[in-house]
A and B are shown apart, each in its own frame.
Chain A
Amino acid sequence: MHISEGILNPSILLTGAVITAAGVGVGLKKMSERDIPITALMTAFFFVGSLIHIPIGPASGHLVLNGLLGLVLGWKAWPAIFVALVLQAVLFQFGGLTTLGVNTAIIAAPGVALGLLAAPVIRRVGKRMKLIIAGVVAALSVFFSGLLAAIILYITGEGFEAPARLLLLSHIPIALIEGVITAFICGFILKVKPEVFLRTAMLLPLFLIPLLGITPNPAYAHRVNIFAWVEDGHIHGEGYFASGKKCIGCKVAMYGLRGEKIEEAVTDPKGLFLFKCPDGADKVKLVLSAGAGHRAETVLDMGNKSARPDSIPASSTITNSKYRKGCDIEQLLDRKLEPLLQEVRALRKSQQEITFQDVVSGLGYIFGLMGLALYGFSKKK
């Protein structure tokens, strides 16, 4: 979940730093002198939690504990996590100085938001519900942290999509384990020192709810499609976003089979672009880039032009002796169906990306599995 130094660009680093400065500022304001030792102990607790390796099948992961910190400390979790990350950066060089802001925001924001939302609820419900809520908060905090890290990698630029996807996937088992362990920790605390959950009397910051709604959207907004076909010795095409909006003034580059760039064009106000068919190329790759992270590509089969007529008049009747042969009809169909096939390909490609639906289903899995596991366990007792 730590993003290393050297990857992110200045604007993302600055955004992260500003958010973290605000969060730490609010946290410090809410922290009285009296709270300092306890907050510091929670910082140390967070730090030690990250050193514990928990076996998950053949691999192992470490605890994040951001959900628990958010539940117990509320806003004060921001400075606590910040200090823990400074210590990790100085002692182990995990994370690093420039990424402190981004990493603190990634870890603290979900924990604090969910913790503040759940804290008033958790005080009122029964014991079993307390454990379930704590577990779900912890699991979701880790999942959202992974999601934020993945989104940040994703918008960093082309080339980081695959690591971002892997990062998100690897957070699902970690989130589940974290949820189970946090529920057990809370069970232990409830037995030994139940007043911990009474102390966290926090206000419910309603303005954080829309923030949570926004986080998955950038991944969704990044879907851009390209759609191209060959006609009259030209390559026609258009680019549009998943919402149906046209890409206006976006760069389209045409590459040959070996990856060499042949030509570049810019889409017009209708999102359309036009290339001349390059001589002698069988297939070309068209890459549409619409700003950071918005990218789509398609491979276009040019066909052997010399063997086919340059243009098939659509209105000309098939009864015309020239087109009576079966292969000609096939050719005609091929041509007419090509745009549709392109669309199907574009759809298939866009389905492989992290979408809003993936995020929601990931959350659903976490909720469901957590609930089942915790229910089973609380029944056994």
Chain B
Amino acid sequence: MTCEFFAEGDSFVHRLDPRLKLAGAVAFSLFLVFIQQIVTLLLALSGSIALAAFARLDTQLLLKRLSIINFFIIFVCLFLPWTIPGPSIALPVLPDPSINGMKAALALFLKSNAMVLFNIDLLSTSSVFALNHAMAHMKLPTKLINLFFFSWRYLHVLEEEFHNMRRAAFARGFEPTTSFFTYKTYANILGGLFVRSMDRGERVYRAMVCRGFNGTFPLLSHFHLHSRDLLAAAIFLVFLAFLAGMELV
């Protein structure tokens, strides 16, 4: 299974220091939480789109991912024009939507898409391993970092094992329907997965202890800040300042 849809690539964005990317993604998301005005949000979204173009991400794949994420957002947006009170405009068939509600729905749509796209631009263009390494530099608890590393490692193992078991079930003519038999089959597959996970965890731990694991992973490669990283950080900060200015004016 590959989940790192956008991690491969060789653009300016891909080569940035993962520590900066992690910090930038968090800062941008937190910043946008406070933004209310539609014009500012529109500019923020265009910034995200520009960065995506700059990173030369696969447009089709990007749109596919965004459409999945937008499912919930659009679901909420559809309600807002009729549930927020205020002056409304007349429509021929539907009940009249309120202007405030439509503004709120538009702001919500722009805001969440700007955040999500920016996170794809920055976080998904690094490998998860690089992000884990960057987290270690952010002084997060060692146990959490190790947990993250192991989880990422096991994700693929379990996913593969699950697909093998599922394939085996389908090969024997299993067809998922709304029935207790289906639920029981899935439960048995998951139960098998669970038991194997437990055993594997135990085995791996013993093997690691045998090899002298003391709770930390020694790092062989280190990050270095290049001039391009500083340039990107400067541009990012100017962009944030510009957005803040726009919001306040």
Measured CB to CB, the residues of A under 8 A from B are 2, 4-10, 13, 24, 28, 31, 33-34, 36-45, 47-49, 51-52, 54-57, 63, 79-80, 82-84, 86-87, 89-94, 96-98, 158-163, 177, 180-189, 192-193, 196, 253, 255, 258-261, 285, 287, 297, 373, 377
CB neighbours (8 Å) of B190 from chain A are: 45, 49, 52, 63, 181, 185
Closest residue of chain B to A58 (Cβ to Cβ) is B178
Chain B interface main SS type: helix
Query: When the two chains form their complex, are residues A90 and B128 in contact, meaning their CB atoms are under 8 A apart?
Result: yes
Closest residue of chain B to A41 (Cβ to Cβ) is B197
Query: When the two chains form their complex, are residues A44 and B65 in contact, meaning their CB atoms are under 8 A apart?
Result: no
Query: When the two chains form their complex, are residues A56 and B178 in contact, meaning their CB atoms are under 8 A apart?
Result: yes
Closest residue of chain A to B115 (Cβ to Cβ) is A5
Query: When the two chains form their complex, are residues A54 and B115 in contact, meaning their CB atoms are under 8 A apart?
Result: no
Query: When the two chains form their complex, are residues B29 and A5 in contact, meaning their CB atoms are under 8 A apart?
Result: yes
A181 vs B189: C-alpha distance when bound (angstroms)? 11
Other A-B pairs beyond A4-B69, A55-B177, A91-B124, 20, CB < 8 Å = A5-B115, A9-B33, A31-B143, A36-B205, A38-B205, A39-B147, A40-B147, A40-B153, A44-B155, A87-B128, A91-B5, A93-B65, A93-B119, A98-B29, A98-B30, A181-B183, A181-B187, A182-B187, A193-B195, A253-B85
Chain A interface main SS type: helix
Query: When the two chains form their complex, are residues B115 and A98 in contact, meaning their CB atoms are under 8 A apart?
Result: yes
Per-position contact with A for B55-90: 1 when CB-CB < 8 Å, else 0? 000000000010011001101100110011111101
Q: CB within 8 A of B184: which of A184, A255, A261? A: A184
B16 at the interface (CB under 8 A from A): no
Query: When the two chains form their complex, are residues B116 and A261 in contact, meaning their CB atoms are under 8 A apart?
Result: no
Query: When the two chains form their complex, are residues A6 and B112 in contact, meaning their CB atoms are under 8 A apart?
Result: yes
CB distance from B141 to the nearest CB of A (A): 6
A5 vs B41: C-alpha distance when bound (angstroms)? 14
Interface hub of B88, B191, B213 (most chain A Cβ within 10 A): B191
Query: When the two chains form their complex, are residues A91 and B3 in contact, meaning their CB atoms are under 8 A apart?
Result: yes
20 A-B pairs (CB sep. < 8 Å): A4-B72, A6-B32, A38-B205, A44-B154, A47-B151, A48-B155, A51-B159, A54-B176, A54-B183, A63-B190, A86-B148, A93-B116, A96-B29, A97-B26, A158-B85, A161-B83, A186-B191, A188-B188, A189-B194, A196-B195
CB neighbours (8 Å) of B200 from chain A are: 41
CB neighbours (8 Å) of B86 from chain A are: 259, 261
Query: When the two chains form their complex, are residues B83 and A160 in contact, meaning their CB atoms are under 8 A apart?
Result: yes
CB distance from A360 to the nearest CB of B (A): 26
CB distance from B246 to the nearest CB of A (A): 18
Q: CB within 8 A of A159: which of B73, B80, B193? A: B80
CB neighbours (8 Å) of B243 from chain A are: none
A1 vs B156: C-alpha distance when bound (angstroms)? 24
CB neighbours (8 Å) of B8 from chain A are: none
Q: CB within 8 A of A259: which of B73, B96, B120? A: B96
CB distance from A20 to the nearest CB of B (A): 12
CB distance from A93 to the nearest CB of B (A): 5
A322 vs B84: C-alpha distance when bound (angstroms)? 46
Query: When the two chains form their complex, are residues A163 and B4 in contact, meaning their CB atoms are under 8 A apart?
Result: no
Query: When the two chains form their complex, are residues B143 and A259 in contact, meaning their CB atoms are under 8 A apart?
Result: no
Interface size class of B (residues with CB under 8 A): 35 or more
Supposing A91-B124, A93-B120 touch, asked if A192 and B183 sit within 8 A by C-beta, the answer is: no
A192 vs B123: C-alpha distance when bound (angstroms)? 40
CB neighbours (8 Å) of A87 from chain B are: 128, 148, 151-152, 155
Q: CB within 8 A of B147: which of A43, A48, A182, A192? A: A43
Supposing A44-B197, A48-B193, A189-B195 touch, asked if A83 and B144 sit within 8 A by C-beta, the answer is: yes
B52 at the interface (CB under 8 A from A): no
CB neighbours (8 Å) of B193 from chain A are: 45, 48
Query: When the two chains form their complex, are residues A196 and B192 in contact, meaning their CB atoms are under 8 A apart?
Result: no
CB distance from A24 to the nearest CB of B (A): 7
Query: When the two chains form their complex, are residues B72 and A13 in contact, meaning their CB atoms are under 8 A apart?
Result: no
CB distance from B59 to the nearest CB of A (A): 16
Query: When the two chains form their complex, are residues B192 and A188 in contact, meaning their CB atoms are under 8 A apart?
Result: yes
CB neighbours (8 Å) of B158 from chain A are: 41, 44-45, 47-48
CB distance from B93 to the nearest CB of A (A): 17
Q: CB within 8 A of B187: which of A6, A7, A185? A: A185
Q: CB within 8 A of A93: which of B69, B88, B201? A: B69
